[in-house]
């Protein structure tokens, strides 16, 4: 699989599609174009980093419908909507549904390129965050049940003495567990451990 | 006899008497008391054809007819016995008989010779044959005159100088309703003239008095009829004058014109109503004969239509022909020729130019029929339709404006789609241009740059084509017929609507028949109909799920030769409650609709001799509108 960030362009208009490809190619951005939303869904793999330049108006599945489908599938690819004249309300709605940005046709090349690059950066960042989150979960899952209890209490801000009382163990034992949790989670500070706890709490909803 | 002896005795008086007897033209006869003739003069001989000797001593009765003979004897006898004379000094007319037996009238005067005893008589017989005849002639003449008077169908009245009725004929009596005896001697004015008109009639008599000679006065006045009522009489009066020229009476002949005047008034009223109607309706009529027979009629209003004065100017075929607008004279003349050649009803429309230079549209309808003398009679009307033509023209302009406005409204509804359609090539051009600039700046791949430039040119053309089509639809222009391929026309308007359809997630499918003949039509107007139908269908489809919105545009040739263009959608169809009114102006089911689209579309269809109907297909959901255009035979196209 190609892990080079790629720009995906979905537009039913041949000329618009091919002009976008040439424009993105001229700034060295790898581009794949699709004639319809279905074509894109058929060819897209979520591991593929990149961004999506998506036409709002298309026969069959429209841009917003594709966005909805992607959201449903949990795909995190940033979407830049390209709208024709008069599609502003629809674009606004798309933004509310998590679109990265939108551009009105015709647009300045730099506007598109800037947005595409930002979208790619966001995607890279998202993917990095996603990778970190899964690492933290991995580490979390390596904790023993007692250690998880300590992790929970520590990140809740409880003092060792309180924890010892809650758990019915000596303060010393609490300190040993706590050191192991810090070690296993790779946390260099309590603050870092607290952020990990928050990260762990967030993706659980996804 | 004593006296006779005395006369005989005296010689000189006897000679004088004889000369007197010979000189007189009358027969003189002396008779004795028994009637025996004593003397018979020369004139007597001439009148009766007897010589005196033949009669002397014979009874005078020999000179009488049988009838007079008896009465003479009776008379003589009566006189002798009573002494009362019946005839002496009086005279009477009797019949006398000549020797040859012929009878002739005489006036007999008888006298008794003075102091004769027994009495002797002298008779003078004056031949009144001529007078009789003259009298008879006069009587006959009078009778005839009376008959004329009585027979005359005019009223004849003779009045005295003080206006008393002296004579009135039967017609006069009949008219007035009185017997002659009731009228004679009465004052004419009182008897026959209504009080209000008496002064006028008196004035007419006074005029006659003044005028003198045998001048005549004409006047009309009513006469009173017995038992009420009036008759209108036209009078001619003359004054009767004596030798000194004094008026001794008046003679009037009158004609009862009550009925004639009523008819005249009715005719005049009819004529004036006709003229009034012609004036109000701005329609004139005429009658002519070709070749010209001298009988012709051109109504006053016809003169006015031609800008002529009904009284001062004279219309004629020549004047009419000369007034025909130069551009119409050829076809007007052709219509006219055809009418003369084929008797029957004909019509012609043309323009005329009045002397003042005004152009008028007229419509003439006329009948031709063989007339007298081998001529053709042409009778017809000419209607000034200028106002109607102007209204028609105004309506046409208004219709055209409405058509245009409606088209613009439809286009307005499609604006988003159109803008989108235009945006695509512009976006592509922008992208290609940007790409080319970057590629050139980076010194990269000349093939890509060339590709970009080619694409820019292509997309610019694409944009231009959209604008060209747009401009065609937006223009306000005169109706223009041209030969057009229906499929081509449909394809163009479908492609134009595609962006609008895409905007609303509607698919448009075209099913075009292969064998359509070219039609003469106004391309833009017919496209407007289809555009409007597509637009309506797209809106109607909003109620369908986005994945199932379809319009099929279908062209076909019907058995009768008509070409149909059907626009079928799979929407909800037109509600039953609205179907009857969908073609009415201002009937709309859309919130923002003008309600004019279908009304104008139908008008356009009708202007093409076609029809636009709502014809949902049995068993298929949705609305279906069918535009049916007749296939004109070559040459019949306008």
Q: Residue B276: inside a domain, yes or no? A: no
The confidence score (pLDDT) of residue A52 equals 94
Q: Confirm or reject contact between B463 and chain A (CB < 8 A).
A: no
Say how far apart CA B97 and CA B60 lie, in whole Å. 11
Tell me the pLDDT tens digit for each residue of B185-231: 999 999 999 999 999 999 989 888 888 777 888 999 999 999 889 99
**For residue B118, what pLDDT band results from cuts at 50, 70 and 90?**
confident
Cα separation of B4 and B1, whole Å? 5
Total structural domains within chain B? 4
My answer on whether B340 and B454 are in the same domain is no
- Note the pLDDT of residue A202: 46
d(CA B409, CA B417): 14
Closest CA to B632 of B529, B517, B554: B517
| Mean pLDDT for the stretch of residues B233-259 | 91
Task: Using an 8 Å CB-CB cutoff, list chain A residues near B507.
Answer: 59
| Cα–Cα dist B364/B384, whole Å | 9
Q: State the average pLDDT over residues B423-444.
A: 88
Residue B347's beta-bridge partner residues?
B365
Answer yes or no: is A75 within a domain: yes
- Residue B142 domain flag: no
Q: What angle do CA A33, A36, A42 make, to 5 degrees?
A: 80
Query: What phi and psi values does residue B213 have, to the nearest 5 degrees?
Result: 65, -155
Please say which residue of A71, A103, A128 terminates a domain.
A128
> Cβ–Cβ of B431/A13 closer than 8 Å?
no
Min Cα–Cα distance to chain A from B554, Å: 21
| A107's tokens | 């647009």
Residue B562: CB partners within 8 Å, gap ≥ 6? Answer: B610, B628, B629, B630, B631
Asked if residue A206 belongs to a domain, the reply is no
Do A31 and A104 fall into the same domain?
Answer: yes
Asked if B383 and B363 touch (Cβ cutoff 8 Å), the reply is: yes
pLDDT confidence bin for B635, thresholds 50/70/90: very low
The secondary structure of residue B324, as a DSSP letter, is: B
Answer whether B275's CB lies under 8 Å from B189's CB.
no
Per-residue confidence (pLDDT) for residue B594, from 0 to 100:
62
Are both A114 and A170 inside the same structural domain? no
Instruction: Give residue A195's domain range.
Output: 142-201
Q: Count the domains in chain A.
A: 2
- Residues A86 and A58 sit within 8 Å (Cβ to Cβ): no
Domain holding A11: CATH number? 3.40.50.2300
The DSSP code sequence of B375-425 is -EEEEEEEEE-HHHHHHHHHHHHHHHHHHHHHHHHHHHHTHHHHHHHHHHH
CA distance B638 to B632: 9
| Residue B273 belongs to some domain of the structure | no
Q: Which of A128, A150, A166 is the last residue of a domain?
A: A128
**Would you call B439 an interface residue with chain A, using a CB distance cutoff of 8 Å?**
yes
pLDDT tens column, B343-352: 899 999 999 9
Report d(CA B112, CA B1) in Å as an integer: 12
Show which of residues 178-207 on chain B sit within 8 Å of chain A, judged by CB atoms.
Answer: none
The CATH number covering residue B336 comes to 3.30.450.20
> Is A69 found in the same domain as A41?
yes
| Residue positions counted in chain A | 206
Give per-residue burial for B74-91: e unless 16+ CB within 10 Å, then b. eebeebeeeeeeebeeeb
Q: Are residues A110 and A11 in the same domain?
A: yes
User: CA-CA distance, B324 to B352, in Å (whole number)?
Assistant: 4
pLDDT of residue A206: 30
B101, B133, B165 - which closes a domain: B133
The answer to whether residues B628 and B431 touch, using CB atoms and an 8 Å cutoff, is no
Angle at B542 between CA B536 and CA B543, to 5 degrees: 115
Answer yes or no: do B410 and B487 share one domain.
yes
* Range(s) of the domain holding residue B168: 152-256
d(CA A99, CA A83): 13
Task: Record the tokens describing residue B250, joined without a space.
Answer: 């008046």
**Number of Cα atoms under 13 Å in the Cβ half of residue B335:** 19
Q: Both A108 and A175 in a single domain?
A: no
Is B614 part of a structural domain of the chain? yes
The answer to whether residue A135 is domain-embedded is: no
Q: Are both B231 and B285 inside the same structural domain? A: no
- Chain B residue whose CA is closest to A58: B502
The C-alpha atoms of residue B20 and residue B105 are separated, in whole angstroms, by 23
Token pair 């593929």 is found at: A48
Summarize the confidence of residues B557-577 as an average pLDDT.
86
Name the DSSP letter for residue B58.
S
Please answer yes or no on whether A85 and B427 come within 8 Å at the CB atom. Answer: no
Contact B442 A13 (CB under 8 A): no
CB-based contact, B54 to chain A, within 8 Å: no
> Is B503 an 8 Å CB contact of chain A?
yes
pLDDT band at B5 (very low <50, low <70, confident <90, very high): low
Minimum Cα–Cα distance from A17: chain B residue: B428
My answer on whether A73 and A161 are in the same domain is: no
CA-to-CA dists, residue B148 to B143, B155, B160, B177, B608, angstroms: 8, 11, 21, 20, 80
Bond before A106 cis per omega within 30 degrees: yes
CATH of the domain at B540: 3.30.565.10
Query: Are B349 and B430 found together in one domain?
Result: no
Q: How far apart are CA B509 and CA A158, in angstroms?
A: 71
DSSP notation for B192-233: HS-HHHHHHHHHHHHHHHHH-TT-EEEEEEEEE-TTS-EEEE
On whether residue B35 sits in a domain, the answer given is yes
Instruction: Provide φ and ψ at B526, rounded to 5°.
Output: -70, -40
Confidence of residue B8 (pLDDT cuts 50, 70, 90): low
B323 plus B235 within the same structural domain: no
Residues A113 and A151 in one domain: no
CB B217 within 8 A of CB B204: yes
Chain A interface, Cβ < 8 Å to B: 13, 15-16, 18-20, 22-23, 25-27, 57-60, 62, 82, 84-87, 105-109
Whether residue A172 sits in one domain with residue A90: no
> Are B432 and B516 part of one and the same domain?
yes
Same domain, yes or no: B450 and B583: yes
Task: Specify the DSSP class assigned to residue B518.
Answer: P
A27 and A97 inside one domain: yes
Cross-chain CB nearest to A13 (options B424, B452, B507): B424
Pairing state between β B519-521 and B482-484: antiparallel
In terms of C-beta density within 10 A (0-12 exposed, 13-18 middle, 19 or more buried), how is residue B468 classed? exposed
Asked if residue B379 has pLDDT above 50, the reply is yes
What pLDDT is stored for residue B621 in this prediction? 81
Q: Does B425 touch chain A (CB under 8 A)?
A: yes
Whether B404 and B522 share a structural domain: yes
Q: Does B505 touch chain A (CB under 8 A)?
A: yes
Gap between the Cα atoms of B623 and A116, Å rounded:
46
B595 — pLDDT class (breaks 50, 70, 90): low
Burial of B582 (0-12, 13-18, 19+ CB in 10 A): buried
Residue B274 domain-assigned (yes or no): no
- Convert the pLDDT of each residue in B286-345 to its tens digit: 999 888 887 889 999 999 999 999 889 988 888 988 999 999 999 999 988 888 888 899
Q: Are A100 and A29 in contact (CB under 8 A)?
A: no
Q: Is B420 on the interface with A (CB under 8 A)?
A: yes
Distance between first and last Cα of chain B:
136
Q: State how far residue B506 is from chain A, nearest Cα, in angstroms.
A: 8
Beta bridge mates, B158: B167, B251
What's the CATH code of the domain at A168? 1.10.10.10
Distance CA B528, CA B604 (A): 9
Residues A10 and A59 in one domain: yes
CB contact under 8 A, B505 and A26: no
Q: Is the pLDDT higher at B553 or at B22? A: B553
CB A5 within 8 A of CB A49: yes
Locus of tokens 């050829």? B330
Model confidence at B10, in pLDDT bands (50, 70, 90)? low
Based on the domain organization, do B425 and B571 belong to the same domain? yes
Residue A137 belongs to some domain of the structure: no
Of the candidates A54, A60, A50, the residue with the CA atom closest to the CA atom of residue A30: A50
Whole-number average pLDDT of chain B? 85
Indicate whether A124 and A85 sit together in one domain.
Answer: yes
Does any domain span residue A133?
Answer: no
Domain boundary among B384, B412, B441: B384
Q: Where are the beta strands (DSSP E) in B476-635?
A: 482-484, 507-511, 519-521, 550-557, 563-569, 611-614, 624-629
Distance CA B92, CA B102 (A): 20
The answer to whether residue B262 is domain-embedded is: no
- The rounded distance, in Å, linking the Cα atoms of A107 and B573 is 41
Give me the helices (H) in chain A, please: 14-26, 37-43, 63-73, 88-96, 109-141, 145-155, 160-167, 171-185, 190-201
Residue B420 domain flag: yes
Which of A139, A132, A135 has the alpha carbon at shortest distance from A183?
A139
Residues B445 and B307 in one domain: no
**If you ran DSSP here, which 8-state letter would residue B572 be given?**
-
User: Cα dihedral sign for B462, B467, B473, B478?
Assistant: negative
Domain's final residue, options B351, B384, B417: B384
Tell whether B478 and B619 lie within a shared domain. Answer: yes
pLDDT at residue B525 greater than cutoff 60: yes
Measure the CA angle with vertex A119, ends A116 and A122; round to 5°.
155
Helix-strand-coil percent breakdown of chain B, rounded to 5? Answer: 50, 25, 30
Contact check, Cβ <8 Å, B438/A26: yes
Q: Do A19 and B458 touch (CB under 8 A)?
A: no
Do B89 and B238 reside in the same domain of the chain?
Answer: no
* CB A31, CB A20: distance < 8 Å: yes
Q: Which residues pair with B94 in a beta bridge?
A: B106
Task: Provide DSSP, B475-516.
Answer: -------EEE-HHHHHHHHHHHHHHHHHHTT-EEEEE--S-P
Of A80, A101, A128, the residue that ends a domain is A128
B226 in Cβ contact with B176 (< 8 Å): yes
What are φ and ψ of residue A59, in 5° steps? -65, 155
Residues of chain A with pLDDT under 70: 1-2, 85-86, 202-206
φ/ψ of residue B144, rounded to 5:
-65, -45
Classify residue B36 by burial, with Cβ atoms within 10 Å: 0-12, 13-18, 19+: middle
Q: What is the ipTM, given to two decimal places?
A: 0.71
Q: Both A49 and A123 in a single domain? A: yes
């Amino acid at each position: 699989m190609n892990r080079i960030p790629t720009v995906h362009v979905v537009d039913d208009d041949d000329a618009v599609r091919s002009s976008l490809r040439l424009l993105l190619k001229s700034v060295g951005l790898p581009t794949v174009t699709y004639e319809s939303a279905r074509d894109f869904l058929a060819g897209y793999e979520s591991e593929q980093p990149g961004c999506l330049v998506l036409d709002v108006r298309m026969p069959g599945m429209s841009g917003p419908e594709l966005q909805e489908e992607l959201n449903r599938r949990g795909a995190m690819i940033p979407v830049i909507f390209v709208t024709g004249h008069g599609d502003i309300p629809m674009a606004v709605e798309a933004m509310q549904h998590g679109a990265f940005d939108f551009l009105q046709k015709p647009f300045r090349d730099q506007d598109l390129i800037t947005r595409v690059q930002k979208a790619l950066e966001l995607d890279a960042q998202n993917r990095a965050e996603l990778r970190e989150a899964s690492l933290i979960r991995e580490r979390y899952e390596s904790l023993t049940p007692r250690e998880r209890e300590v992790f929970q209490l520590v990140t809740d801000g409880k003092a060792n003495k309180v924890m010892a009382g809650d758990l019915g163990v000596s303060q010393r034992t609490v300190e040993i567990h706590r050191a192991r949790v810090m070690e296993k989670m790779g946390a260099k500070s309590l603050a870092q451990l607290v952020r990990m706890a928050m990260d762990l709490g967030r993706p659980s909803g996804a | 006899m004593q006296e006779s002896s005395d006369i005989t005795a005296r010689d000189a008086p006897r000679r004088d008497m004889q000369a007197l007897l010979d000189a007189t033209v009358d027969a003189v006869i002396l008779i004795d008391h028994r009637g025996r003739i004593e003397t018979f003069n020369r004139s007597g001989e001439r009148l009766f054809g007897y010589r005196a000797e033949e009669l002397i001593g014979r009874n005078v009765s020999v000179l009488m007819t049988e009838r007079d003979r008896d009465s003479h004897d009776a008379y003589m006898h009566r006189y002798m016995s009573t002494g009362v004379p019946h005839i002496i000094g009086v005279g009477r007319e009797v019949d006398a008989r000549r020797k040859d037996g012929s009878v002739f009238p005489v006036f007999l005067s008888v006298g008794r010779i003075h102091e004769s005893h027994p009495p002797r008589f002298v008779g003078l017989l004056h031949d009144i044959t001529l007078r009789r005849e003259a009298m008879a002639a006069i009587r006959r003449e009078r009778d005839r005159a009376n008959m004329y008077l009585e027979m005359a169908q005019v009223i004849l009245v003779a009045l005295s100088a003080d206006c008393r009725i002296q004579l009135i004929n039967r017609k006069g009596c009949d008219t007035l309703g009185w017997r002659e005896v009731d009228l004679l001697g009465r004052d004419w004015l009182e008897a026959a003239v209504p009080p209000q008109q008496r002064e006028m009639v008196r004035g007419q008599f006074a005029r006659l008095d003044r005028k003198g000679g045998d001048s005549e006065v004409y006047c009309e006045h009513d006469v009173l009829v017995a038992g009420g009522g009036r008759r209108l009489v036209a009078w001619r009066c003359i004054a009767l004058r004596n030798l000194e020229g004094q008026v001794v009476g008046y003679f009037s002949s009158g004609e009862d014109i009550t009925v004639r005047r009523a008819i005249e008034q009715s005719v005049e009223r009819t004529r004036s109503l006709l003229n009034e109607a012609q004036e109000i309706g701005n329609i004139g009529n005429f009658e002519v004969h070709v070749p010209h027979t001298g009988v012709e009629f051109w109504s006053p209003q016809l003169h006015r239509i031609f800008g002529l004065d009904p009284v001062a100017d004279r219309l004629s075929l020549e004047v009419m022909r000369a007034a025909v607008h130069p551009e119409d004279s050829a076809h007007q003349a052709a219509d006219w020729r055809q009418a003369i050649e084929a008797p029957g009803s004909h019509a012609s429309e043309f323009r005329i130019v009045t002397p003042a230079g005004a152009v008028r549209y007229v419509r003439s309808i006329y009948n031709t029929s063989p007339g007298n003398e081998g001529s053709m009679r042409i009778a017809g009307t000419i209607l000034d339709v200028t106002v109607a033509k102007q209204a028609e023209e105004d309506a046409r302009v208004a219709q055209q404006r409405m058509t245009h406005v409606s088209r613009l409204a439809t286009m307005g509804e499609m604006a988003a789609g159109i803008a989108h359609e235009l945006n695509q090539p512009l976006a592509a051009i922008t992208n290609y241009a940007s790409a080319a600039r970057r590629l050139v700046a980076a010194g990269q791949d000349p093939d890509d740059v060339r590709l970009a430039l080619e694409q820019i040119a292509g997309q610019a053309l694409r944009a231009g084509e959209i604008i060209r089509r747009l401009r065609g639809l937006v223009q306000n222009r005169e109706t223009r017929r041209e030969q057009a391929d229906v499929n081509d026309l449909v394809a163009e308007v479908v492609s134009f609507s595609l962006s609008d359809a895409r905007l609303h997630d509607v698919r448009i499918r075209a099913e075009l028949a292969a064998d359509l003949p070219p039609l003469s039509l106004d391309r833009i107007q017919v496209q407007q109909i289809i555009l409007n139908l597509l637009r309506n269908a797209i809106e109607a489809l909003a109620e369908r799920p986005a994945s199932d919105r379809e319009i099929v545009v279908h062209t076909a040739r019907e058995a009768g030769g008509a070409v149909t263009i059907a626009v079928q959608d799979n929407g909800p169809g037109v509600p039953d409650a609205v179907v009857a009114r969908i073609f009415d102006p201002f009937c709309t089911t859309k919130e923002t609709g003008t309600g004019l689209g279908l009304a104008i579309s139908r008008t356009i269809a009708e202007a093409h001799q076609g029809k636009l109907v709502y014809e949902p297909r049995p068993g298929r959901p949705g609305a279906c509108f069918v535009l049916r255009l007749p296939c004109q035979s070559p040459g019949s196209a306008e």
